[in-house]
Amino acid sequence: MVVAAGVNLLFQKVCSTNNPTAIMEHKFNYNWTLKDANFSKDKGVVFSCFACGGGSTMGYKLAGYDVIGCNEIDPRVMSLYEQNHHPRYAFLEPIQTFKDRTAFPDALYNLDILDGSPPCSAFSIAGSREEAWGVEKKFREGQATQILDTLFFDFIELAHKLQPKVVIAENVKGLLQGDAKKYVQRIYAEFDAAGYYCQHWLLDGSNMGVPQRRERVFFVCLRKDLIDFVPVQYNLFDVLPRLTLDFHEPPITCEDAGIELGDPITTPCYAEEYDRLKAGLPKKYLQCCLYPKTVVHPTLIAGYRAKASPMPDWGKQWLSTSDICKISSFPQDYDFGTQKPEYVCGMSVPPLMIAQIATQVYEQWLTRINQVK
């Protein structure tokens, strides 16, 4: 069953674990196809930066927005984005040069939402963190060399130029830990200087209809001149636009999601580690883990078959492409081209996380703003 995009319908799914007759309700369906989706495009206009394969783009589309274009640095994932999403405006260049353009298409000066997911490996708890800060590197082969931890501020500079009503930025939860908190303080300061009220939330996809435990930080910012049109909240010193992002949808386990598995795990090091873990022996050299059917899938990382791979306890097999799409809430008919599904999905925001947030932004903010404007 596919939920019509842009319509806040609930779909029902029979829980197959503890109670076969239990009905769980979710706003959006994680198991869907592009060919069957009906994108209404009537909730607002969005432009996406650091677009990758379009995870956030599909979330906005599911929520009923019109995503008119993207900015991306990697030609391979840009090709992927174009063949799946057909953007009206596609800018293949680093955001450092994109933000410095002297002019943009008129439509980009009239955005409801500017979206972005600045590359986050310098802050990820799965990465090198502090050791990588301020270091020039290639985020992936084929991309330009750049300092990753300043890209967020380039994105804010672009927001300052385009002045969309709302800015939504996603990043890893490591941004809220340790010395990285200083970056959050600067993010707030620069959004303030750009003319925005900034707030952030740490959200877990497993509470939002995604069959995956994936915690991400979302910054949601409202242009300051629009605060008179939305509900507000007060603290000791400030007034802020009120936005409630409180999701408590029932978790979807691997069994609930119908994970069926694909190719056998035959690579010697993984096969050996699997056997050791299955026998209750300590890990030898890989940071792998076994997970049972009855839990929500752990975070899918871009290097899925890297040394930190989770492996299913109920079969010595990797996830199939269909499984990867399910746990990432990607459409089953997404065309991955020559790219590995685990890379694209692991690098992307799960569409349903964005669909949930974008729906609330529309219902709590944009409907009120657009009634007055």
Q: Give the pLDDT band of residue 126 (cuts 50, 70, 90).
A: very low
Distance in angstroms (rounded) separating the CA atoms of residues 46 and 69:
8
> Does the active-site annotation cover 120?
yes
* 178 or 8: which leads in pLDDT: 178
Hey, where are the domains in the chain?
A: 11-251+349-372, 254-344
pLDDT of residue 292: 96
pTM of the model: 0.89
Residue 110 in this model has a pLDDT that exceeds 80: yes
Q: Is the dihedral of CA 311, 340, 204, 180 positive or negative?
A: positive
> What value does the mean pLDDT of the chain take?
88
Q: pLDDT per residue over 291-327, tens digit each?
A: 999 999 999 988 888 888 899 999 999 999 999 999 9
Distance in angstroms (rounded) separating the CA atoms of residues 111 and 195:
15
Mean pLDDT of the region 255-283: 95
Selecting among 49, 52, 70, 120, the annotated active-site residue is 120
Mean pLDDT of the region 92-119: 96
pLDDT of residue 56: 98
Is 92 strand, coil or helix? strand
Distance in angstroms (rounded) separating the CA atoms of residues 61 and 59:
5
Residue 127 in this model has a pLDDT that exceeds 70: no
Q: Give the pLDDT band of residue 227 (cuts 50, 70, 90).
A: very high
Q: What percent of the chain has pLDDT over 90?
A: 75
Question: For residues 211-242, b (16+ Cβ closer than 10 Å) or e, as one string?
Answer: bbbbbbbbbbbbbeebbebbeeeeeeeeeebe
Which string of DSSP letters, residue by residue, matches 235-271?
-SS-EEE-------PPP--HHHHT----SB--SHHHH
pLDDT of residue 154: 96
pLDDT of residue 174: 87
* 143 or 329: which leads in pLDDT: 329
* 23 or 350: which leads in pLDDT: 350
The answer to whether the CB of 118 falls within 8 A of the CB of 180 is: no
Where does 280-362 have alpha helices with state H?
A: 321-328, 341-347, 351-361
Distance in angstroms (rounded) separating the CA atoms of residues 160 and 99:
10
Residue 122 in this model has a pLDDT that exceeds 70: no
Q: pLDDT per residue over 148-197, tens digit each?
A: 578 999 999 999 999 999 999 999 888 888 777 788 999 999 999 999 99
The CATH topology of domain 11-251+349-372 is: Rossmann fold (3.40.50)
Q: pLDDT per residue over 237-246, tens digit each?
A: 788 999 999 9
Q: pLDDT per residue over 329-343, tens digit each?
A: 999 999 999 999 999
